[in-house]
Amino acid sequence: MSVRANPSEGWRFDRWEGDFLNITVNPVNISMTKDHNVIAVFKPRDYPLHISIEGEGVVEEEILQQKATEYPFGTIVQLTAVPQEGWQFGYWEGDVETTENPTIIEITTDNNVTAVFEHNKDRSFLEEYAQREDVNITASGLMYRILREGDGESPGIDSRVRVHYEASLVSGEIIASTYERNEPLEFNLSEVIAGFAEGVMLMREGAKYELVIPAELGYGDFPPDSNIHPGATLIFLTELLEVL
């Protein structure tokens, strides 16, 4: 008769023991001319996790959980992409496709994962912008250019204002614009991001400024919209129409 060893998921057949000591043939044929004692030995599969890197950064691995202490199958691993200076994490690709960082994977098969790092265009933009002769930089790090001076009233933090503005990323992508709607926006300065409020308070009615807002004065690492990446520098072309 023929006896076959069928491993469960995450296991592999290793050998027979008992009357068939260290035989690795599977299935094995047994001649039933006497009693037999046969043991099938299974061992847990080892699944490699291949991690590649594009750009400049490292990936930190942390084992969060194993289904059994000695079993590689079922291991749960947290991968954290850590960019080098001047770079930012972009996304994972390969067997894991997500922008979440850190990300968690369960090892149930061979895995090939690549962490893609992108050059930090925001930082480069800020460094280059700061070198312009017509750029002013405040103590907080806000940068601005005066495109047109105004001669009216200047608002304070408790003021309500009416403005025209166009907000964009360093890539040039426009994320909001009152010009497109042809409808100025009214708001309280105390209710907007710190960099925008500070910039508007520098202006007089009738003025037009270009405000460059670093992430720490904007949305930081937690933007409210998926169109704005974490750590984004924001560029606001702003006209102060009226202090209300």
Where b means 16+ CB within 10 Å and e means fewer, 217-237 reads: bbbeeebeeeebbebbbbbbb
Q: Are residues 164 and 99 in the same domain?
A: no
pLDDT of residue 63: 64
More confident residue, 203 or 2: 203
Looking at 115-124, 165-174, 185-194, which range is the least confident one? 115-124
CB atoms within 10 A of CB 166: 17
Reported pTM: 0.60
> Same structural domain for residues 108 and 136?
no
Q: Which domain holds residue 219?
A: 122-243
The confidence score (pLDDT) of residue 69 equals: 36
Query: Which of 119, 148, 176 represents a domain boundary (last residue)?
Result: 119
β-pairing verdict for 143-148 and 174-177: unpaired
Contact 135, 143 (CB under 8 A): yes
Q: Label residue 163 by pLDDT band (50, 70, 90).
A: very high
Q: 131 and 109: one domain?
A: no
List the one residue out of 24, 89, 25, 86 whose CA is nearest residue 60.
Answer: 89
- Select the more confidently predicted residue: 163 or 74: 163
Residues 53 and 31 in one domain: no
Residue type, 228: I
CB 103 within 8 A of CB 77: no
CATH code of residue 218: 3.10.50.40
Per-residue pLDDT band for 158 (boundaries 50, 70, 90) equals very high
Which range scores top for mean pLDDT: 5-14, 88-97, 100-109, 181-190?
Answer: 181-190
Do 16 and 129 belong to one domain?
no
Same domain, 167 and 95: no
Where among 85, 119, 153 does a domain terminate?
119
Q: What is the pLDDT, as a whole number, of residue 21?
A: 67
Over range 87-102, report the average pLDDT. Answer: 88
Residues 85 and 134 occupy one common structural domain = no
Same structural domain, 221 and 162: yes
CA nearest neighbour of 211 among 192, 235, 232, 231: 235
Higher pLDDT, 134 or 27: 134
Q: Are residues 182 and 217 in the same domain?
A: yes
Q: Is the pLDDT of residue 155 over 90?
A: yes
User: What pLDDT is attached to residue 70?
Assistant: 40
Q: What is the pLDDT of residues 60-81, one digit of tens each?
A: 777 665 544 343 677 888 889 9
* Alpha-carbon gap, residue 168 to 146, rounded angstroms: 18
The helix (H) or strand (E) run that includes residue 174 is strand 174-177
Q: How many domains does the chain have?
A: 3
Same domain, 37 and 21: yes
| CB neighbours of residue 81 within 10 Å | 24
Beta-strand pair 111-119/49-54: parallel
**In a shared domain, residues 114 and 173:** no
Q: What sign does the dihedral 223-227-231-236 (CA atoms) show?
A: negative
Nearest Cα neighbor of 215 from 194, 187, 191 is: 194
Instruction: Examine the fold and report which residue of 87, 119, 151 is the final residue of a domain before the chain moves on.
Output: 119
**What DSSP string describes 200-240?**
HHT--TT-EEEEEE-GGGTTTT--SSTTS-TT--EEEEEEE
Q: What is the pLDDT of residue 71?
A: 38
Predicted confidence (pLDDT) at residue 22 exceeds the cutoff of 70: yes
Do 51 and 59 contact (CB within 8 A), yes or no? yes
Same domain, 174 and 226: yes
Whether 207 has a pLDDT exceeding 80, the answer reads: yes
